[in-house]
A and B are shown apart, each in its own frame.
Chain A
Amino acid sequence: MGTKRAFTKRRRFTLDEQIYRMCSAWPSFQLVRKRRQVEAILIGTMQPTPLSANYSVSIRIRPEWSPEVRVLEPELKPREGMASLPHMYSDGCLCLHLHGDWHPGMFVAESTLPWASLWLYFYEVWLATGLWLGGGTHPDKPEHKSE
């Protein structure tokens, strides 16, 4: 193994490193499922701003894949008269980042979960105002700013 490759290849965190970082940075999160070095699911609570609700959230971590965040409680609902939520995949996971924003050399505790907190704040503001003010892109509307 040449030193050159070690510099060019990004350091990837192992599942255990991700879990360890999660538990130290987000004390409310607990490991509820783990399959060898393949997959871990943690559940905990987060509150984006002092006036926001407290959400129960699960995060699924797989070393080679983008982490998946789902909100367990309270149930996320679209605004009255709207069919769906902005920035959410059809399977109920939150759309938190573009492909290039995250890589396996990032701690989910320091990237994905903070983004989930931002997402939840902008979700509440969207419920209140009908406007998605957190910016973002949309597969159909690249310059999408609001819903």
Chain B
Amino acid sequence: MAASPALFATDQHTQMDDLLWRICEQIQLTSSRHQLAVDRYEAVCRWLEADGSGVASYRPSIYPQGSMRIGTTVRPIRHNEYDLDFVCEVLTHPSSFSSPLQLLKLMEARLREHKVYASILEVKNRCVRLNYADEFHMDILPACPDGFSNDGCLVVPDRESRWWKPSNPKGYADWFEQRCELAMQVLMAERARLVSKAEPIPDQEAAEDKATLKRAVQLLKRWRDIRYEKQPDVAPISMVLTTLAALNYEGQGSVSRAISDILDRIVALIGSSWPRIIVLNPAHTEEDLSERWENPVQYAAFVTGIRELHRLWSDLMAMSGIQNVSKALEKLFGEPAMVAVAAQANRLQKLREEKSLRVVPGGLISAAPAIGLAMRSNTFHGN
């Protein structure tokens, strides 16, 4: 995961973005847990492919989908277990199964032959879940190519309807990554403009710019978890929030600006959409991701929540006083806000100890070299 943006420029968005990145660092899957998840799904895949496996002849492959694939994982607020989603794709036409459930049952039966998997296995509507205590659970969704196209479209068995449902996790992830790439395009255009005017080009980490949309999505999902904690049935689903954010993202490098603009546009869209916003799956445009909003109660809960967030976010952008900012961030994102404020202060204190701080007229503390006055050493004293 990329580091947070540079500290303490003279722009309030830079300092806010540093806090927001630090919040995301706390809520996302750590790189060690991420690696553990990769190791585990690879082990599951080897078990499914091994000699004697009833699934081996269908040539299964397992890969991550959803937040694990696109880098927008968010730790649930009440427990420590992440929900990680995987696809187990078999290279077989759906018609070779007597029923969609046969594929799900085959995979389940093979996993039950494994002593450890059998003890942590749980069967869900469309997937088999492996519960790794206190870390994460892996939902493994069996799938076949839909047999018509070569663009990643799959069908997955649905236990309730006893039929196949269309899906395209790779196509969705590719689309999302393209939206993330907008940041690079905006950055390159800005650089070209500066070069043409012979102006200095600011130093920016390309990797960070590409992740701005991911951070915005994580924060929106975290807000959702907290805002709808007491009414989880009407909480907007992750896929809808992710898609709406990505559709309304315009390549901003700053996560706070990106969220401001995304919320402006969603609120405007609510005003111009009657009776409701329709969020289609960009990788499978027949699918209405927001079909739950056909229920007016569900849609009203989303509209109320997002308008409230829009207002709180505008207030936050105009707020001064770290203590006020911290309180507002805590209301939106919970306890990681305070930890982020402390981490930012620790970073500043470290720069102070390294004698890297300067002060510009007006009192702003800066770590940028060659501006203002060097900060001399001192030790705060007294009661």
Contacts and interface: CB of A to CB of B under 8 A. Distances in A.
B383 A128 contact: no
Nearest to A26: B361
Contacts of A137: 379-381
A115 B357 CA distance: 11
Interface residues of B, number: 41
A103 B357 CA distance: 21
B200 interface: no
Given A101-B377, A128-B341, A137-B379, A46 B363 contact: yes
B322 A139 contact: no
A90 interface: yes
Contacts of A131: 342, 345
A72 interface: no
Interface stretch (B6-14, B155-163, B164-172): B6-14
Contacts of B345: 121-122, 125, 129, 131, 133-134
B189 interface: no
A81 interface: no
A49 B376 contact: no
Interface string A82-108: 001011111000011110011000100
Contacts of B191: none
A110 B361 CA distance: 10
Given A51-B12, A131-B342, A135-B349, A118 B365 contact: yes
A135 to B, nearest CB: 6
Contacts of B321: 51-53, 124, 127
A143 B12 CA distance: 34
Contacts of A128: 322-323, 325-327, 338, 341
Contacts, number: 159
A51 B325 contact: yes
A80 to B, nearest CB: 11
Contact of B375 (A47, A49, A84, A118): A118
B346 interface: yes
Contact of A89 (B14, B361, B363, B383): B383
B155 to A, nearest CB: 50
A118 B382 CA distance: 16
A106 B379 contact: no
A94 B169 CA distance: 58
Contacts of A48: 363-365
B348 interface: yes
B322 A25 contact: no
A4 B140 CA distance: 84
Given A117-B359, A117-B365, A127 B373 contact: no
Question: Which of B14, B320, B345, B346 has the most CB atoms of chain A within a 10 A radius of its CB?
Answer: B345
B381 A50 contact: no
B383 A90 contact: yes
B382 A89 contact: yes
A64 B380 CA distance: 20
Question: Which of A51, A110, A120, A140 has the most CB atoms of chain B within a 10 A radius of its CB?
Answer: A51
B8 A49 contact: yes
Contacts of B362: 26, 28, 45-47
A6 to B, nearest CB: 24
28 contacts: A25-B361, A46-B362, A49-B365, A50-B8, A51-B320, A87-B382, A88-B382, A89-B382, A95-B383, A96-B380, A97-B379, A98-B378, A114-B365, A114-B373, A114-B376, A115-B378, A115-B380, A118-B365, A121-B348, A124-B322, A124-B323, A125-B322, A127-B322, A128-B325, A128-B338, A129-B342, A135-B349, A138-B382
Interface of B: 8-12, 14-16, 319-323, 325-327, 338, 341-342, 345-346, 348-349, 352, 357, 359, 361-365, 373, 375-383
Given A96-B381, A129-B345, 13 more contacts: A51-B322, A52-B321, A54-B320, A101-B376, A106-B376, A110-B373, A111-B376, A113-B359, A114-B365, A114-B373, A115-B376, A128-B338, A133-B345
